[in-house]
Amino acid sequence: PTRQMLKRKIKNIFSVFLLFFSIATTEPAWNYRQASLAAPASGYEITRNTLDHLQREGFSKALTEMLSPILNTHYLNLKDFLEALPIQLTKKESDLLMRYASTQQIKIQADEFSSDLNENAAVFRGNVKGVIPRENIELTTAKLRLVSGKGKNFEKLIGEGGVSVKQWDREVRSDFAIYTQIDLEDQTPDTDSAETKSIETPQQTLRLQGNVIMKASQGSVISNTVFVDILRQHATLEGKDTSKEGRIKVEANLSELETNRKEQSSKIKTQEEETENQEKTEQKKVLLLASRGVLDNIKHLAMFEGDVEMERTPDNLYIHAGKITLRLNELQELQSIRA
């Protein structure tokens, strides 16, 4: 029983990383095609993310599933989109659907704007605020630079100074952020361009640097740098140094995670689960410190190294190791722990 309880506790810690990993890899937040200089100005498309947002707004799961027949189908105008809807919606429901299905470009406000035609770049300075209504995302920073490649196969977004990205109850902050996207499919293979020859594979990456803080109701993550390879579903977190203040810091609210866990009506409760339910009124938290962390969603692996400390309260569980590796299955259930 003790071993099973430990497994469940570690699994909940990993759930926090997956939560923050999703804000970076979610199609909306960083799919620059929805916000690029080359993207279509309007259109409508329902994705799985759209359905998730609608459920947050009060749509029932049964209602959103009725929209599945037109999932991932792009419509160039509102008339065609509305005619394709397989169900009748109220005025309020229709307004919400149009907001989250619209592929309109990012809306940006700033005190100053300039452009560089030679570099195909746009620069916004001073109280920069970007909004993507489709994804309920708000971006703020002191300076934002958007760069698009001549062949429209390369795009980069650079935020400098007080970068903040908010979506629902989640927020990511850093001093500096770079999002890069390179698509091979739009390149001309027989070109003599040295720039094109140097690109071997598609890329979609996000780098956060300096005082990185990721917060949600389930917990928080503090790091000096975060690098996410979105296509490979791989993330690396690094602290500033090996001191307690310089290491990456993870605080997980296990009580919140357990409250959000889906209940299985057919599942028979064990004595261990009954005991946990009795303790549910207590705030159960985990604190984890490490110099470096690596998350690989494809390999279902999480690794923390560099004077790793993990403490769970209120039951005073404490682990100290040079390195901890967690392996999970496809359902994100813990399979093994190696310290």
CA 48 from chain center: how many Å? Answer: 14
The partner residues of 216 in beta bridges, in order of sequence, read 219
Predicted confidence at residue 186, as pLDDT, reads: 47
Q: Note down the domain range covering 171.
A: 105-185+199-232
Query: Does one domain contain both 92 and 112?
Result: no
Query: Does one domain contain both 286 and 334?
Result: yes
Query: Does one domain contain both 119 and 57?
Result: no
**Cα–Cα distances in Å, from 192 out to 89, 202, 212?**
53, 19, 40
Whether the CB-CB separation of 304 and 290 falls below 8 Å is answered with yes
| 178 vs 170: CA distance, rounded Å | 19
| 296 vs 154: CA distance, rounded Å | 25
Domain C-terminal end among 35, 66, 101: 101
Q: Is residue 38 part of a domain?
A: no
Query: Does one domain contain both 303 and 205?
Result: no
Question: SS3 of 328, please?
Answer: strand
Place of tokens 């430990």: 6
Q: Report the DSSP pairing between strands 285-290 and 248-253.
A: antiparallel
Predicted confidence at residue 9, as pLDDT, reads: 45
Q: Average pLDDT per run of 10 along the chain, which is 339 residues long?
A: 46 49 42 37 85 93 94 92 92 93 85 88 92 87 86 78 90 92 58 52 87 89 92 90 89 66 44 52 81 90 91 85 86 76
Question: SS3 of 78, please?
Answer: helix
CATH of the domain at 212: 2.60.450.10
What is the pTM for the complete model shown? 0.70
Q: Is residue 285 part of a domain?
A: yes
Predicted confidence at residue 62, as pLDDT, reads: 93
Query: Does one domain contain both 97 and 110?
Result: no
Query: Does one domain contain both 12 and 92?
Result: no
**Among 2, 7, 54, 6, CA closest to 327:** 7
Helix (H) or strand (E) holding 277: helix 271-278
Query: Does one domain contain both 250 and 219?
Result: no
Query: Does one domain contain both 139 and 223?
Result: yes
Predicted confidence at residue 262, as pLDDT, reads: 47
Q: Is residue 218 part of a domain?
A: yes
Predicted confidence at residue 318, as pLDDT, reads: 87
Query: Does one domain contain both 62 and 128?
Result: no
The token duo for 17 is 């990383």
The number of distinct structural domains making up the chain is: 3
Query: Does one domain contain both 60 and 113?
Result: no
Whether the CB-CB separation of 321 and 313 falls below 8 Å is answered with no
Predicted confidence at residue 183, as pLDDT, reads: 74
Predicted confidence at residue 25, as pLDDT, reads: 43
**Among 205, 233, 245, 338, CA closest to 294:** 233
The token duo for 298 is 């494809």
Q: Is residue 43 part of a domain?
A: no
Whether residue 314 is preceded by a cis peptide bond, meaning omega within 30 degrees of 0, is yes
Query: Does one domain contain both 62 and 179?
Result: no
Q: Is residue 266 part of a domain?
A: no
Left if phi > 0, otherwise alpha if psi is -120 to 50, otherwise beta: which for 120? left
Query: Does one domain contain both 156 and 210?
Result: yes
Residue type, 150: K
Whether the CB-CB separation of 45 and 72 falls below 8 Å is answered with yes
